[in-house]
Structure 1
Protein backbone atom coordinates (compact mmCIF):
# COMPACT_ATOMS: atom_id res chain seq x y z
CA UNK A 1 0.00 0.00 0.00
CA UNK A 2 2.88 2.37 0.72
CA UNK A 3 4.20 1.78 -2.77
CA UNK A 4 0.76 2.38 -4.28
CA UNK A 5 0.24 5.64 -2.36
CA UNK A 6 3.67 6.93 -3.43
CA UNK A 7 2.86 6.07 -7.06
CA UNK A 8 -0.56 7.75 -6.77
CA UNK A 9 0.62 11.05 -5.31
CA UNK A 10 3.76 11.20 -7.47
CA UNK A 11 1.72 10.48 -10.58
CA UNK A 12 -0.98 13.04 -9.81
CA UNK A 13 1.47 15.82 -8.98
CA UNK A 14 3.55 15.00 -12.06
CA UNK A 15 0.36 15.02 -14.14
CA UNK A 16 -0.41 18.59 -13.06
CA UNK A 17 3.20 19.63 -13.64
CA UNK A 18 3.19 18.16 -17.16
CA UNK A 19 -0.02 20.07 -17.91
CA UNK A 20 1.66 23.31 -16.79
CA UNK A 21 4.70 22.63 -19.01
CA UNK A 22 2.37 22.02 -21.96
CA UNK A 23 0.56 25.31 -21.27
CA UNK A 24 3.85 27.23 -21.09
CA UNK A 25 4.98 25.59 -24.36
CA UNK A 26 1.97 27.29 -26.02
CA UNK A 27 1.84 25.08 -29.10
CA UNK A 28 -1.46 23.33 -28.38
CA UNK A 29 -2.92 21.26 -25.54
CA UNK A 30 -4.49 17.85 -25.06
CA UNK A 31 -8.29 17.67 -25.55
CA UNK A 32 -9.39 18.06 -21.93
CA UNK A 33 -6.91 20.86 -21.34
CA UNK A 34 -8.13 22.69 -24.44
CA UNK A 35 -11.52 22.60 -22.76
CA UNK A 36 -10.13 23.76 -19.39
CA UNK A 37 -8.27 26.62 -21.04
CA UNK A 38 -11.34 27.57 -23.05
CA UNK A 39 -13.37 27.85 -19.85
CA UNK A 40 -10.72 30.12 -18.30
CA UNK A 41 -11.24 32.49 -21.25
CA UNK A 42 -14.84 33.15 -20.20
CA UNK A 43 -14.78 32.80 -16.39
CA UNK A 44 -12.38 34.50 -13.93
CA UNK A 45 -10.86 31.29 -12.55
CA UNK A 46 -7.39 29.77 -12.59
CA UNK A 47 -6.61 26.80 -14.80
CA UNK A 48 -6.30 24.55 -11.76
CA UNK A 49 -9.63 25.66 -10.32
CA UNK A 50 -11.38 24.91 -13.61
CA UNK A 51 -9.68 21.50 -13.68
CA UNK A 52 -10.95 20.72 -10.16
CA UNK A 53 -14.51 21.89 -10.89
CA UNK A 54 -14.63 20.01 -14.19
CA UNK A 55 -13.51 16.83 -12.45
CA UNK A 56 -16.21 17.24 -9.81
CA UNK A 57 -18.93 17.83 -12.44
CA UNK A 58 -17.77 14.85 -14.50
CA UNK A 59 -17.91 12.67 -11.40
CA UNK A 60 -21.60 13.58 -10.99
CA UNK A 61 -22.15 11.79 -14.30
CA UNK A 62 -20.97 8.62 -12.56
CA UNK A 63 -24.22 8.45 -10.57
CA UNK A 64 -26.48 7.17 -13.38
CA UNK A 65 -23.59 4.99 -14.58
CA UNK A 66 -23.35 3.43 -11.09
CA UNK A 67 -19.64 4.08 -10.83
CA UNK A 68 -18.02 4.25 -7.41
CA UNK A 69 -15.18 6.71 -6.73
CA UNK A 70 -12.13 5.57 -4.85
CA UNK A 71 -9.53 7.37 -2.79
CA UNK A 72 -7.52 7.91 -5.96
CA UNK A 73 -10.52 9.50 -7.68
CA UNK A 74 -10.95 12.18 -5.03
CA UNK A 75 -7.18 12.72 -4.85
CA UNK A 76 -7.13 13.15 -8.63
CA UNK A 77 -9.76 15.87 -8.56
CA UNK A 78 -7.96 17.92 -5.92
CA UNK A 79 -4.24 17.30 -6.40
CA UNK A 80 -3.95 17.73 -10.17
CA UNK A 81 -5.60 21.16 -10.03
CA UNK A 82 -3.37 22.33 -7.19
CA UNK A 83 -0.28 20.99 -8.95
CA UNK A 84 -1.00 22.73 -12.24
CA UNK A 85 -1.59 26.11 -10.55
CA UNK A 86 1.57 25.85 -8.43
CA UNK A 87 3.61 24.73 -11.45
CA UNK A 88 2.29 27.58 -13.60
CA UNK A 89 3.33 29.99 -10.86
CA UNK A 90 6.86 28.51 -10.80
CA UNK A 91 7.45 28.06 -14.54
CA UNK A 92 8.50 31.02 -16.73
CA UNK A 93 7.00 31.83 -20.12
CA UNK A 94 9.34 30.73 -22.91
CA UNK A 95 9.78 32.82 -26.04
CA UNK A 96 12.10 30.59 -28.07
CA UNK A 97 10.21 28.26 -30.41
CA UNK A 98 12.79 25.42 -30.15
CA UNK A 99 12.57 25.60 -26.35
CA UNK A 100 8.77 25.52 -26.50
CA UNK A 101 8.77 22.54 -28.88
CA UNK A 102 11.20 20.69 -26.63
CA UNK A 103 9.04 21.50 -23.61
CA UNK A 104 5.97 20.17 -25.42
CA UNK A 105 7.68 16.84 -26.16
CA UNK A 106 8.87 16.60 -22.56
CA UNK A 107 5.36 17.41 -21.29
CA UNK A 108 3.77 14.62 -23.32
CA UNK A 109 6.34 12.10 -22.05
CA UNK A 110 5.87 13.23 -18.44
CA UNK A 111 2.10 13.09 -18.84
CA UNK A 112 2.33 9.48 -20.02
CA UNK A 113 4.55 8.54 -17.08
CA UNK A 114 2.21 10.30 -14.66
CA UNK A 115 -0.79 8.45 -16.06
CA UNK A 116 0.95 5.09 -15.78
CA UNK A 117 1.84 5.79 -12.14
CA UNK A 118 -1.56 6.94 -10.90
CA UNK A 119 -3.52 4.33 -12.86
CA UNK A 120 -1.04 1.66 -11.78
CA UNK A 121 -1.68 2.52 -8.14
CA UNK A 122 -5.14 1.00 -8.58
CA UNK A 123 -6.83 3.23 -6.00
CA UNK A 124 -9.67 4.46 -8.19
CA UNK A 125 -9.84 5.93 -11.71
CA UNK A 126 -9.71 9.63 -12.43
CA UNK A 127 -13.13 11.23 -13.01
CA UNK A 128 -12.66 11.34 -16.79
CA UNK A 129 -11.39 7.75 -16.96
CA UNK A 130 -14.31 6.61 -14.81
CA UNK A 131 -16.75 8.30 -17.18
CA UNK A 132 -15.22 6.34 -20.05
CA UNK A 133 -15.25 2.95 -18.31
CA UNK A 134 -18.79 3.56 -17.03
CA UNK A 135 -20.07 4.29 -20.53
CA UNK A 136 -18.27 1.23 -21.88
CA UNK A 137 -19.91 -0.98 -19.28
CA UNK A 138 -23.41 0.46 -19.75
CA UNK A 139 -23.44 0.73 -23.56
CA UNK A 140 -21.35 -2.30 -24.54
CA UNK A 141 -19.47 -0.14 -27.05
CA UNK A 142 -15.70 -0.34 -27.47
CA UNK A 143 -13.23 1.61 -25.37
CA UNK A 144 -11.81 3.12 -28.55
CA UNK A 145 -15.20 4.45 -29.72
CA UNK A 146 -16.22 5.83 -26.32
CA UNK A 147 -12.82 7.42 -25.64
CA UNK A 148 -12.63 8.97 -29.10
CA UNK A 149 -16.19 10.33 -28.93
CA UNK A 150 -15.62 11.94 -25.52
CA UNK A 151 -12.31 13.53 -26.48
CA UNK A 152 -13.50 14.84 -29.86
CA UNK A 153 -16.53 16.41 -28.17
CA UNK A 154 -14.40 17.95 -25.41
CA UNK A 155 -11.80 19.18 -27.90
CA UNK A 156 -14.39 20.79 -30.17
CA UNK A 157 -16.09 22.51 -27.23
CA UNK A 158 -12.79 23.79 -25.86
CA UNK A 159 -11.73 25.09 -29.27
CA UNK A 160 -15.01 26.96 -29.66
CA UNK A 161 -14.43 28.52 -26.23
CA UNK A 162 -10.97 29.72 -27.28
CA UNK A 163 -8.71 26.93 -26.05
CA UNK A 164 -5.32 26.38 -27.70
CA UNK A 165 -5.33 23.77 -30.50
CA UNK A 166 -2.11 23.21 -32.43
CA UNK A 167 0.83 20.93 -33.04
CA UNK A 168 0.92 19.92 -29.38
CA UNK A 169 -2.68 18.70 -29.64
CA UNK A 170 -1.77 16.40 -32.53
CA UNK A 171 1.43 15.14 -30.86
CA UNK A 172 -0.47 14.44 -27.64
CA UNK A 173 -3.26 12.58 -29.43
CA UNK A 174 -0.84 10.44 -31.45
CA UNK A 175 1.85 9.78 -28.84
CA UNK A 176 0.15 9.48 -25.45
CA UNK A 177 -1.26 5.99 -26.00
CA UNK A 178 1.90 4.39 -27.39
CA UNK A 179 4.04 6.04 -24.72
CA UNK A 180 1.84 4.72 -21.92
CA UNK A 181 1.80 1.26 -23.51
CA UNK A 182 5.61 1.36 -23.63
CA UNK A 183 5.86 2.29 -19.95
CA UNK A 184 3.23 -0.08 -18.54
CA UNK A 185 5.49 -3.20 -18.40
CA UNK A 186 8.01 -1.33 -16.25
CA UNK A 187 5.46 -0.64 -13.51
CA UNK A 188 2.83 -3.39 -13.86
CA UNK A 189 4.99 -5.91 -11.98
CA UNK A 190 5.05 -3.56 -8.98
CA UNK A 191 1.60 -1.96 -9.16
CA UNK A 192 -1.78 -3.72 -9.57
CA UNK A 193 -3.83 -1.05 -11.33
CA UNK A 194 -3.51 -2.28 -14.90
CA UNK A 195 -4.60 -5.82 -14.08
CA UNK A 196 -7.67 -4.42 -12.30
CA UNK A 197 -8.44 -2.03 -15.16
CA UNK A 198 -8.20 -4.81 -17.77
CA UNK A 199 -10.63 -7.01 -15.85
CA UNK A 200 -12.98 -4.08 -15.21
CA UNK A 201 -13.24 -2.82 -18.79
CA UNK A 202 -12.75 -5.95 -20.89
CA UNK A 203 -13.56 -8.81 -18.53
CA UNK A 204 -11.36 -11.53 -17.02
CA UNK A 205 -10.80 -13.23 -20.38
CA UNK A 206 -8.82 -10.18 -21.54
CA UNK A 207 -6.26 -10.73 -18.79
CA UNK A 208 -3.29 -12.37 -20.56
CA UNK A 209 -2.47 -14.30 -17.41
CA UNK A 210 -5.74 -16.22 -17.69
CA UNK A 211 -4.33 -18.20 -20.61
CA UNK A 212 -1.25 -19.56 -18.88
CA UNK A 213 0.74 -19.88 -15.67
CA UNK A 214 0.63 -16.80 -13.47
CA UNK A 215 3.84 -14.79 -13.15
CA UNK A 216 4.99 -13.40 -9.82
CA UNK A 217 2.54 -10.90 -8.34
CA UNK A 218 3.10 -8.23 -5.76
CA UNK A 219 2.90 -9.83 -2.34
CA UNK A 220 1.23 -8.45 0.75
CA UNK A 221 4.55 -7.33 2.14
CA UNK A 222 5.27 -5.18 -0.93
CA UNK A 223 7.77 -7.53 -2.58
CA UNK A 224 7.28 -10.13 -5.32
CA UNK A 225 5.42 -13.21 -4.14
CA UNK A 226 6.29 -16.69 -5.31
CA UNK A 227 4.08 -17.96 -8.13
CA UNK A 228 1.66 -20.73 -7.24
CA UNK A 229 2.14 -24.31 -8.35
Structure 2
Protein backbone atom coordinates (compact mmCIF):
# COMPACT_ATOMS: atom_id res chain seq x y z
CA UNK A 1 0.00 0.00 0.00
CA UNK A 2 1.56 3.32 -1.06
CA UNK A 3 2.01 6.23 1.32
CA UNK A 4 -0.73 8.32 -0.33
CA UNK A 5 -3.31 5.60 0.29
CA UNK A 6 -2.11 5.12 3.87
CA UNK A 7 -2.38 8.86 4.56
CA UNK A 8 -5.86 9.06 3.05
CA UNK A 9 -7.07 6.13 5.13
CA UNK A 10 -5.41 7.56 8.25
CA UNK A 11 -7.14 10.90 7.67
CA UNK A 12 -10.66 9.45 7.36
CA UNK A 13 -10.23 6.73 9.97
CA UNK A 14 -8.73 9.16 12.46
CA UNK A 15 -11.63 11.59 12.10
CA UNK A 16 -14.17 8.82 12.66
CA UNK A 17 -12.30 7.60 15.75
CA UNK A 18 -11.89 11.13 17.09
CA UNK A 19 -15.60 11.94 16.64
CA UNK A 20 -16.52 8.69 18.40
CA UNK A 21 -14.26 9.58 21.33
CA UNK A 22 -15.65 13.11 21.62
CA UNK A 23 -19.20 11.76 21.61
CA UNK A 24 -18.39 9.27 24.36
CA UNK A 25 -16.89 12.02 26.51
CA UNK A 26 -20.02 14.14 26.03
CA UNK A 27 -22.29 11.18 26.88
CA UNK A 28 -20.26 10.36 30.00
CA UNK A 29 -21.66 13.48 31.70
CA UNK A 30 -18.46 13.66 33.70
CA UNK A 31 -17.46 16.86 31.94
CA UNK A 32 -16.51 17.35 28.31
CA UNK A 33 -13.31 18.53 26.75
CA UNK A 34 -13.01 22.32 26.77
CA UNK A 35 -13.77 22.81 23.07
CA UNK A 36 -16.64 20.33 23.17
CA UNK A 37 -18.03 22.11 26.21
CA UNK A 38 -17.83 25.31 24.16
CA UNK A 39 -19.82 23.72 21.32
CA UNK A 40 -22.35 22.13 23.69
CA UNK A 41 -22.75 25.46 25.49
CA UNK A 42 -23.37 27.28 22.21
CA UNK A 43 -25.90 24.63 21.16
CA UNK A 44 -27.69 24.96 24.48
CA UNK A 45 -27.85 28.75 24.33
CA UNK A 46 -28.45 29.40 20.64
CA UNK A 47 -29.81 26.17 19.19
CA UNK A 48 -28.36 24.15 16.28
CA UNK A 49 -26.42 20.94 16.90
CA UNK A 50 -23.07 20.42 18.55
CA UNK A 51 -21.60 19.51 15.16
CA UNK A 52 -23.00 22.68 13.59
CA UNK A 53 -21.25 24.87 16.15
CA UNK A 54 -18.03 22.95 15.62
CA UNK A 55 -18.23 23.92 11.95
CA UNK A 56 -19.20 27.57 12.59
CA UNK A 57 -16.51 28.19 15.21
CA UNK A 58 -14.02 26.24 13.12
CA UNK A 59 -14.45 28.72 10.27
CA UNK A 60 -13.71 31.57 12.70
CA UNK A 61 -10.55 29.76 13.86
CA UNK A 62 -9.36 29.38 10.27
CA UNK A 63 -9.03 33.16 10.09
CA UNK A 64 -7.53 33.41 13.58
CA UNK A 65 -4.88 30.79 12.78
CA UNK A 66 -3.94 32.61 9.59
CA UNK A 67 -3.43 35.73 11.68
CA UNK A 68 -1.14 33.86 14.09
CA UNK A 69 1.14 32.50 11.39
CA UNK A 70 0.77 35.61 9.19
CA UNK A 71 -0.43 33.82 6.07
CA UNK A 72 -3.54 33.64 3.91
CA UNK A 73 -6.42 31.57 5.35
CA UNK A 74 -6.31 27.91 4.45
CA UNK A 75 -9.88 26.83 3.64
CA UNK A 76 -9.17 23.11 3.19
CA UNK A 77 -9.93 22.49 6.90
CA UNK A 78 -13.59 23.24 6.12
CA UNK A 79 -13.71 19.73 4.63
CA UNK A 80 -12.32 18.30 7.85
CA UNK A 81 -14.66 20.16 10.20
CA UNK A 82 -17.64 19.30 8.01
CA UNK A 83 -16.79 15.59 8.22
CA UNK A 84 -16.06 15.82 11.94
CA UNK A 85 -19.18 17.85 12.74
CA UNK A 86 -21.44 15.44 10.84
CA UNK A 87 -19.78 12.42 12.48
CA UNK A 88 -20.21 13.87 15.97
CA UNK A 89 -23.89 14.56 15.36
CA UNK A 90 -24.25 10.99 14.04
CA UNK A 91 -22.52 9.42 17.06
CA UNK A 92 -24.45 11.59 19.54
CA UNK A 93 -27.67 10.39 17.92
CA UNK A 94 -26.51 6.76 17.82
CA UNK A 95 -25.02 6.78 21.34
CA UNK A 96 -28.24 8.01 22.91
CA UNK A 97 -27.85 6.63 26.44
CA UNK A 98 -27.41 7.72 30.04
CA UNK A 99 -24.60 6.28 32.20
CA UNK A 100 -26.11 4.12 34.94
CA UNK A 101 -23.72 5.13 37.71
CA UNK A 102 -20.44 6.81 38.61
CA UNK A 103 -18.36 3.81 37.52
CA UNK A 104 -19.98 3.84 34.08
CA UNK A 105 -19.37 7.58 33.79
CA UNK A 106 -15.69 7.19 34.59
CA UNK A 107 -15.24 4.25 32.20
CA UNK A 108 -17.05 5.97 29.33
CA UNK A 109 -15.06 9.15 29.90
CA UNK A 110 -11.64 7.48 29.87
CA UNK A 111 -12.48 5.38 26.83
CA UNK A 112 -13.67 8.56 25.09
CA UNK A 113 -10.51 10.47 26.01
CA UNK A 114 -8.31 7.67 24.71
CA UNK A 115 -10.26 7.37 21.45
CA UNK A 116 -10.07 11.14 20.98
CA UNK A 117 -6.30 11.26 21.43
CA UNK A 118 -5.76 8.19 19.22
CA UNK A 119 -8.06 9.63 16.54
CA UNK A 120 -6.18 12.93 16.47
CA UNK A 121 -2.83 11.14 16.38
CA UNK A 122 -3.97 9.00 13.44
CA UNK A 123 -5.64 11.63 11.29
CA UNK A 124 -2.76 14.11 11.51
CA UNK A 125 -0.68 11.46 9.70
CA UNK A 126 -2.78 12.22 6.62
CA UNK A 127 -1.17 15.67 6.42
CA UNK A 128 -4.22 16.86 4.54
CA UNK A 129 -6.32 19.34 6.45
CA UNK A 130 -6.19 19.53 10.22
CA UNK A 131 -9.20 20.82 12.10
CA UNK A 132 -8.85 24.52 12.97
CA UNK A 133 -8.55 23.54 16.65
CA UNK A 134 -5.61 21.25 15.89
CA UNK A 135 -4.20 23.85 13.52
CA UNK A 136 -4.28 26.23 16.46
CA UNK A 137 -1.98 23.82 18.31
CA UNK A 138 0.53 23.96 15.45
CA UNK A 139 0.06 27.71 14.88
CA UNK A 140 0.85 28.50 18.52
CA UNK A 141 3.84 26.18 18.38
CA UNK A 142 5.15 27.83 15.21
CA UNK A 143 4.47 31.41 16.33
CA UNK A 144 5.81 31.17 19.88
CA UNK A 145 8.09 28.13 19.82
CA UNK A 146 5.98 26.12 22.27
CA UNK A 147 5.95 22.32 22.27
CA UNK A 148 2.82 20.64 20.88
CA UNK A 149 1.90 19.66 24.43
CA UNK A 150 2.04 23.24 25.70
CA UNK A 151 0.31 24.61 22.59
CA UNK A 152 -2.54 22.11 22.90
CA UNK A 153 -2.97 22.94 26.58
CA UNK A 154 -3.11 26.70 25.87
CA UNK A 155 -5.83 26.16 23.27
CA UNK A 156 -7.80 23.97 25.66
CA UNK A 157 -7.60 26.60 28.42
CA UNK A 158 -8.83 29.27 26.01
CA UNK A 159 -11.86 27.16 25.11
CA UNK A 160 -12.41 26.26 28.76
CA UNK A 161 -12.93 29.90 29.64
CA UNK A 162 -15.66 30.27 26.99
CA UNK A 163 -17.28 26.95 27.96
CA UNK A 164 -17.45 28.18 31.56
CA UNK A 165 -19.02 31.49 30.53
CA UNK A 166 -21.64 29.63 28.48
CA UNK A 167 -22.39 27.24 31.36
CA UNK A 168 -21.29 24.31 29.24
CA UNK A 169 -20.91 20.81 30.70
CA UNK A 170 -17.87 21.55 32.83
CA UNK A 171 -16.78 19.00 35.42
CA UNK A 172 -13.88 16.97 36.72
CA UNK A 173 -13.60 15.34 33.32
CA UNK A 174 -13.03 18.72 31.71
CA UNK A 175 -9.96 19.36 33.85
CA UNK A 176 -8.59 15.89 33.14
CA UNK A 177 -9.23 16.25 29.40
CA UNK A 178 -7.71 19.73 29.25
CA UNK A 179 -4.40 18.74 30.80
CA UNK A 180 -4.01 15.15 29.57
CA UNK A 181 -5.12 15.26 25.93
CA UNK A 182 -2.05 17.25 24.82
CA UNK A 183 0.51 14.95 26.48
CA UNK A 184 -1.31 11.87 25.14
CA UNK A 185 -1.19 13.25 21.59
CA UNK A 186 2.50 14.11 21.87
CA UNK A 187 3.18 10.58 23.16
CA UNK A 188 1.11 8.85 20.46
CA UNK A 189 1.96 10.76 17.27
CA UNK A 190 5.53 9.48 16.73
CA UNK A 191 4.56 5.92 17.67
CA UNK A 192 1.60 5.83 15.28
CA UNK A 193 3.76 7.35 12.56
CA UNK A 194 6.32 4.57 12.96
CA UNK A 195 3.56 1.96 12.95
CA UNK A 196 1.87 3.31 9.79
CA UNK A 197 4.99 4.02 7.78
CA UNK A 198 7.39 1.43 9.31
CA UNK A 199 9.88 4.08 10.36
TM-score above 0.5, yes or no: yes
Is the CA contact (8 Å cut-off) linking 2:13 and 2:119 kept in structure 1? yes
What is the CA-CA distance between 1:60 and the residue it aligns to?
1.8
Unmatched segments (≥5 aa) in structure 2: none
Q: Does 1:82 align with 2:86?
A: yes
Distance 1:99 1:148 in 2: 27
Unmatched segments (≥5 aa) in structure 1: 192-217, 219-223
Matches within 5 A, 1:1-229: 1-64=4-67, 65-66=70-71, 69=74, 71=76, 73-97=77-101, 98-138=103-143, 140-143=144-147, 146-189=151-194, 191=196, 218=197
Is the CA contact (8 Å cut-off) linking 1:67 and 1:130 kept in structure 2? no
Which residue in 2 is equivalent to 1:197?
A: none
Change (3 A) 1:124 1:168: same
Distance 2:75 2:11 in 1: 12
What is the CA-CA distance between 1:21 and the residue it aligns to?
0.9
Is the CA contact (8 Å cut-off) linking 2:113 and 2:181 kept in structure 1? yes
Residue range with higher mean Cα deviation, 32-41 or 123-132: 123-132
Is the CA contact (8 Å cut-off) linking 1:104 and 1:168 kept in structure 2? yes
Is the CA contact (8 Å cut-off) linking 1:70 and 1:123 kept in structure 2? no
**Larger-Rg structure:** 1
Task: Let me know the Cα RMSD of the aligned residues.
Answer: 2.3
Distance 1:83 1:15 in 2: 9
Kindly indicate which of the two structures has a greater share of residues assigned to helix: 2
Distance 1:46 1:11 in 2: 22
Q: Could you tell me the TM-score, scaled by structure 2's length?
A: 0.85
Distance 2:13 2:152 in 1: 25
Distance 2:98 2:139 in 1: 40
1:8-41 Cα distance to aligned partner (Å, 9 max, x none): 0011111111111111111101111111111112
1:109-150 Cα distance to aligned partner (Å, 9 max, x none): 100110111112222332122233334434x35246554443
What is the CA-CA distance between 1:5 and the residue it aligns to?
0.7
Q: Could you tell me the TM-score, scaled by structure 1's length?
A: 0.75
Report SS of the residue matched to 1:61.
Answer: helix
What is the CA-CA distance between 1:74 and the residue it aligns to?
3.1
Is the CA contact (8 Å cut-off) linking 2:35 and 2:160 kept in structure 1? yes
